[in-house]
Structure 1
Amino acid sequence: MMKAIRVTEFGEHDVMKVETNLTVPKPSGNQVLIKVSAAGVNPVDILIRSGNFFKLPVLPYTPGLDVSGVVEEVGSKVTKFKKGDRVFTLSTDTGGYGEYTLANSSLTGKLDDNLTFDQGAAIGVPYFTAYRSIVQHGKAQKGETILVHGASGGVGLACVQMAKARGLRVIGTAGTQAGLNVVSSVGADVVVNHRGDNYTQSIIEACDGSGPNLIIEMLANVNLEKDIKMAAPRARIVIVGCQGSGEINPVVMTKELTVQGIALFGVPAEDLEDMHAGIREGMSAGWLQPHIGHAYCLEDAPQAHNDIINTKGATGKIIIKM
Structure 2
Amino acid sequence: VKEFGDPSVLKVAKIAIPKPKAGQVLVKTLAAGVNPVDTYIRAGKYARLPTLPYTPGAEACGVIHEIGPDVKDLKVGDKVWQKGSITGTCAQYNVCTAQDAIKLHDKITSTAGAGISIAYRTAYRALMQTGQARPGCNVFVHGASGGVGLAAVQIARAYGMRVIGTASTEKGRNLIQKNGCHVALDHSQTDRKAYLEQLVKATDGKGADVIIEMLANKNLNFDMGAVARRGKIVVVGNRGEIDNVNCRMLMMREASVVGCMIAGSTEEEEAEAISAISGGLASGALSPVVGETFPLEDAPAAHVEVIEHKHGSAGKIVLCPFSGEAE
Q: How does 1:123-138 map to 2 (within 5 A)?
A: 123-138=116-131
Q: Map of 1:159-174 to 2, 5 A cutoff? A: 159-174=152-167
User: Aligned-pair distance for 1:33?
Assistant: 1.1
1:254 aligns with 2:247: no
More displaced 10-residue stretch of structure 1: 64-73 or 242-251 = 242-251
The answer as to 2:111 corresponding to 1:112 is no
1:19 partner SS: coil
AA of the residue aligned to 2:290? I
Query: Following TM superposition, by how much is the alpha carbon of 1:49 offset from its aligned partner in structure 2, in angstroms?
Result: 0.4
Find the aligned partners of 1:248 and 1:91 in 2 and give their Cα distance. 39
Deviating more after overlay: 117-126 vs 201-210 = 201-210
Where do 4+ consecutive residues of structure 1 move more than 4 Å? none
Deviation at 1:13, TM superposition (A): 0.3
Whether 1:286 and 2:284 are equivalent positions in the alignment is yes
Partner of 1:4: none
Residue equivalent to 2:201: 205
2:56 pairs with one of 59, 63, 69: 63
1:306 match: secondary structure: helix
Q: Deviations over 1:283-319 (max 9, x none)?
A: 1211111111111000111111112222232010010
| Partner of residue 177, structure 1 | 170
The DSSP-based 3-state class of the residue aligned with 1:62 is coil
Cα shift at 1:135: 1.1
- The residue aligned with 1:3 is none
Deviation at residue 248 of structure 1 after TM alignment: 5.8
Number of residue pairs matched by the alignment: 315
Structure 2 CA distance for aligned equivalents of residues 266 and 259 of structure 1: 16
Once the 2 structures are TM-superposed, how far is the Cα of residue 93 of structure 1 from its aligned partner? 1.1
Pairing 1:90–2:83 present = yes
* Aligned twin of 1:268: 266
Matching of residues 1-322 of structure 1 within 5 Å: 7-20=1-14, 22-196=15-189, 197-198=191-192, 199-246=195-242, 247=245, 249-312=247-310, 313-322=312-321
Q: Which stretches in structure 2 are left out of the alignment for 5+ residues?
A: 322-327
Cα offset, 1:269, TM superposition? 1.2
**What is the CA-CA distance between 1:68 and the residue it aligns to?**
0.3
Alpha-carbon distance in 2 for matches of 1:193, 1:91: 34
- In the superposition, relative to structure 1, how do residues 252 and 77 fare at CA in structure 2: closer, same or farther (>3 Å)? farther
So what's the TM-score if we normalise by structure 2?
Answer: 0.94
Could you tell me which amino acid in structure 2 is paired with residue 117 of structure 1? S
Q: With structure 1 as the length reference, what TM-score do the two structures score?
A: 0.95
Q: Matched residues in 2 for 1:54 and 1:248: separation?
A: 28
In 2, the alpha carbon distance for the partners of 1:31 and 1:244 equals 38
CA distance in structure 2 between the aligned counterparts of 1:276 and 1:90, rounded to whole angstroms? 10
The separation in 1 between residues aligned to 2:264 and 2:21, in whole angstroms, is 21
Sequence identity (%): 43
SS of aligned partner of 1:265: helix
From the superposition, tell whether residues 102 and 248 of structure 1 become closer, same or farther in structure 2 (CA, over 3 Å). Answer: farther
Gapped regions of structure 1 (runs ≥ 5): 1-6
2:324 aligned partner: none
